[in-house]
Amino acid sequence: MKIKQKIVPAAKYALKCPYNMNAEYITVHNTYNDASAMNEVKYMISNNNSTSFHVAVDDIEAVQGIPFNRNAWHAGDSNGNGNRKSIGIEICYSKSGGERYKKAEENAVILITQMLKERGWGIERVKQHYDWSKKNCPHRIRDEKRWDSFLNRIKAEMNKKVEINKGDNEMLKFSSNTFKNEMVTFLENAHKRGLLSSHSWINQAKEGKLSKDDAISLIVTIMNRSEESK
């Protein structure tokens, strides 16, 4: 799923995302209102309170407001692992529910699956806001007692992707070390700019374990995110 970028200005980093972060978890939230993903992010980056999150997802798109290599104040646990080591995902339209919310939640399943796969993470990395500070969030999923089924949908999506990717996907072969080093440098620069979420792709390129399909997908993703951030 393509993530549109509407990144908070660097001048507000001290308020919204003051610390560098190597994420270890993904935290799921419900917004408890009926704003779109873009409006959620626009409001978050424009106001002057510290509350922040990384991505909002609705029935149409996912919008990123905080770089993945910066922390955000979304988990209510002060300087605990929720705020300092997890990526906050807000699922929109949860106040009224209905078809828009159902589609937003399905898009969240796809987005979270994508993020887990990018990082080589398992389902145990996905947390509720509740896990960090006992707040009843994601409220709609919790009130409807669907957290386990939500995780199972992510598991099913992950397994489905694995089946699709089975087959003869050859490893990327470089004709010289120069080209290999260029690819590694390209990925490292993208990671520093927050355009590439996981450092594992860089390690795979260095070790010659990057497939052709993954290399193409990475290049397209980085170029798209670079254009969107201009």
Nearest 5°: the CA angle 51, 52, 56 is 135
Share of the chain above pLDDT 70, in %: 95
Q: What is the dihedral of CA 122, 137, 129, 63, to 10 degrees?
A: 70
Q: What is d(CA 35, CA 39) in angstroms, rounded to the nearest whole number?
A: 6
pLDDT of amino acid 213: 82
Q: pLDDT at position 229, please?
A: 64
Asked whether the beta carbons of 30 and 143 are under 8 A apart, the reply is no
**pTM for this structure?**
0.75
Q: Which residues contact 72 (CB under 8 A, 6 or more apart)?
A: 16, 17, 52, 53, 54, 66, 83, 87, 88
Summarize pLDDT for 179-218 with one digit per residue, the tens: 888 889 999 998 888 888 788 889 888 888 888 888 888 8
User: Could you tell me which residue, 10 or 230, shows the higher pLDDT?
Assistant: 10
Tell me, what's the pLDDT at 103? Answer: 98
The per-residue pLDDT for 211 is 85
pLDDT at residue 163 greater than cutoff 50: no
CB 94 within 8 Å of CB 146: no
Q: What is the pLDDT of residue 162?
A: 44
pLDDT band at 230 (very low <50, low <70, confident <90, very high): low
Contact between 184 and 204 under an 8 Å Cβ cutoff? The reply is no
Please give the share of the chain, as a percent, with pLDDT higher than 90. Answer: 68
Q: Spell out the domains of the chain, with CATH numbers in brackets.
A: 3-165 (3.40.80.10), 177-228 (no CATH)
Contact (CB, 8 A) for 119 and 198:
yes
Residue 164 has pLDDT above 50, yes or no: no
* Closest residue by Cα to residue 91 from 69, 114, 117, 59: 59
**Which has more pLDDT, 176 or 99?**
99
Buried-exposed string 175-199: b where 16+ CB fall within 10 A, e elsewhere: eeeeebeebbebbbebbeebbbbbe
Q: What is the pLDDT of residues 68-95, one digit of tens each?
A: 999 999 999 999 999 999 999 999 999 9
